[in-house]
Amino acid sequence: MLWLAALALGACTGRPDPEAHDSFYLIDGRFHTPDQPQKGVTDLLRWRFTREPGDWERDLTPPPPRTLPERVADDTFKVTFINHATVLVQTGGRNILTDPIWSDRASPVQWAGPLRYRAPGLRFEDLPPIDAVVISHNHYDHLDTLTVHRLEQEHAPHFIVPLNNKRHLPGVEEERVTELDWWETAMLDGELRVRALPARHWSRRGLADQNRSFWSGFGVEHDQGWVFFAGDTGYGDHFLRIRARLGTPDLALLPIGAYKPRWFMKENHLSPEDALQARDDLGKPPMLAIHFGTFDLGDDGQTEPVDNLRMARRERGLDEESVWIGDHGESRLFLFQPAPCSESEDASH
């Protein structure tokens, strides 16, 4: 039986200090963080009128039918990059989906708004049973109501979201939604826990609700190790803070797309170079690049983030195992490699 509760448990490598406030403060009901992105409506308009968009080509060829293992247990974890920020993580006998979107548009309506350019790399009907869904924030390319409804009907998973996002999940049974502040955890069946983690981002879904819902990354923590999902984020010192408290993850899912123009995007989105710096800050775990090639959300073209990441990977002498640029739908199996507890002490900053 799956159960959830917000707990303040620490990993062996660093027990979060409940006294150490590393999260939001509220002003007039809106979430703020010390490294808050400062771009506003004027900047948005300036970008809209000076755009130099890259090239995109639409190809919605569906992937072939597939059968994934129903469960993956113990000291391994299987990761399937579906596309954009949607990733399936299978471990500890549980299946967890990040920021699921199968819709044709990342938008409140399906007749306008950012269009999908690549089909999801796994057909929805080929998903194994989904136990938990983590959603990093309420932007439409991450919190897609149509997909949430479909998951609710066909899988009835637990939804784990940052604070004040429950209101964006109408039709989901309330007892299966857990809202977390940064560093808080939800237990999955006593074996796995999901922890909300800092991200440098913002939120908005309607005209007047900017930053009224919180945002986060997530850790999926197993006794043997953990997987880090960064959500949407700009570069900041939070990657160092995460490593200092939790140690180096066994895999980091890091966004690389929608990073241009830099003057507008850099506080909110990692560039490929930023992602490699974030990986260094996290202690150089293997990384999977996400958030590219699916929705046209910045001025970078469809292949530009991946082309630049390949170049940066080569310049740093990194291989394809260390920096995984997955095909849409590609899966890999990893082994947890427990680090000695002392390692995180070296990582403290």
Which residue, 178 or 268, is less far from Zn ion as judged by CB?
Answer: 268
Which residue, 188 or 254, is less far from Zn ion as judged by CB?
Answer: 254
Which residue, 91 or 138, is less far from Zn ion as judged by CB?
Answer: 138
152-160, 168-176, 232-240, 277-285 -> range binding Zn ion (CB under 5 A): 232-240
- Kindly state the smallest distance separating residue 145's Cβ from Zn ion, in Å: 16
Among 144, 232, 281, 304, binds Zn ion (CB under 5 A): 232
Does 281 help bind Zn ion (rule: CB under 5 A)? no
Which residue, 230 or 244, is less far from Zn ion as judged by CB?
Answer: 230
Does 105 help bind Zn ion (rule: CB under 5 A)? no
Strand partners, 86: 83
122-130, 132-140, 151-159, 304-312 -> range binding Zn ion (CB under 5 A): 132-140
Which residue, 101 or 220, is less far from Zn ion as judged by CB?
Answer: 101
The alpha carbon of 43 is separated from its chain's Cα centroid by a whole number of angstroms, namely 25
Does 141 help bind Zn ion (rule: CB under 5 A)? yes
Does 205 help bind Zn ion (rule: CB under 5 A)? no
70-78, 161-169, 230-238, 271-279 -> range binding Zn ion (CB under 5 A): 230-238
Residues numbered 162 to 201 that lie near Zn ion (CB under 5 A) are none
Beta-carbon contacts of 150 under 8 Å, excluding residues fewer than 6 positions away, are 102, 124
Phi, psi of 252 (to 5 degrees): -120, 125
How many residues contact Zn ion, by CB under 5 A?
3
- Kindly state the smallest distance separating residue 162's Cβ from Zn ion, in Å: 12
Give, in degrees to the nearest 5, the angle at Cα 340 between 334 and 342: 140
Closest CA to 224 of 80, 91, 347, 90: 91
User: CA–CA separation, 150 vs 142, rounded Å?
Assistant: 15
Does 139 help bind Zn ion (rule: CB under 5 A)? yes
| Both tokens assigned to 199 | 């991200």
In b/e form, how buried is each residue of 118-138, taking b as 16+ CB within 10 angstroms? bbbbbbeeebbebbbbbbbbb
Neighbour tally for 318: CB within 10 Å: 17
Helix, coil or strand: residue 10? coil
User: CA–CA separation, 137 vs 168, rounded Å?
Assistant: 10
Which residue, 90 or 216, is less far from Zn ion as judged by CB?
Answer: 216
Binding residues for Zn ion, per CB under 5 A?
Answer: 139, 141, 232
